[in-house]
Chains A and B, each alone.
Chain A
Amino acid sequence: EVQLLESGGGLVQPGGSLRLSCAASGFTFSSYAMSWVRQAPGKGLEWVSTIRGSGAGTYYADSVKGRYTISRDKSKSVLYLQMNSLRAEDTAVYFCAKVYSSTWLPFYFDYWGQGTLVTVSS
């Protein structure tokens, strides 16, 4: 059974940093791309970032490019999101999601975690 468990959320001041983690199990972690998706309070879902299974390719939404870094640890089956220079508008529940295909396409998010809340406020 695929399981994704996010952690690391919390309250941080504007301009601060936070690192989210997503512990994965139930599949061969290194074979699949992984993504982060966020949802601001009362708003819709927003794709944030994706990393290839190999870790060689990383992709970001314009809203976080240059501030966020996605990475993964194959030995621990953990996905990370390092968030720097945080802003109030980054406040959201952050979900990690597994990408369906080990060959990239067709591209979609087949399993999702329950999310972790990040609040950016002074």
Chain B
Amino acid sequence: QTVVTQEPSFSVSPGGTVTLTCGLSSGSVSTTYYPSWYQQTPGQAARALIYNTNSRSSGVPDRFSGSILGNKAALTITGAQADDESDYYCVLYMGSGISVFGGGTKLTVL
């Protein structure tokens, strides 16, 4: 069974930079998994941030960027703001119509 791993929690200071990662329990994440990233405030719909590893979804500020770092996908937020405090999820496309979400990272801005 494929498990997509994310840090359970992370904190960043206002104005700071943070990098969240998305890995696989077995193997490396590459662009062939079309990594995407989503932001969700509890009780709300998710908002797409990054797709296809490093493309920003419509309307997403360039403070958000995606990449592959080592064997993981990564989401970097620069100039963190208070309203960046949310849950962040990565998704890997496994092929054959199957998508797998990571467990999510709760980001605190303080």
A83 to B1, CA, bound (A): 23
B52 interface residue (CB < 8 Å to A): yes
For A107, give the chain B residue with the smallest CB separation: B93
Other A-B pairs, 20, CB within 8 Å; known A37-B101, A97-B46, A112-B45: A44-B104, A45-B104, A50-B97, A50-B99, A59-B97, A61-B98, A62-B1, A95-B45, A105-B34, A105-B93, A106-B34, A107-B36, A107-B93, A108-B34, A111-B48, A112-B46, A112-B47, A112-B48, A113-B45, A114-B44
| 10 cross-chain pairs, A with B, having the tightest CB-CB distances, nearest first | A59-B97, A108-B36, A106-B52, A108-B51, A112-B45, A44-B104, A47-B99, A107-B93, A45-B101, A106-B34
Binding site for A on B (CB under 8 A): 1, 34, 36, 38, 40, 44-48, 51-52, 55, 57-58, 87, 89, 91, 93, 96-104
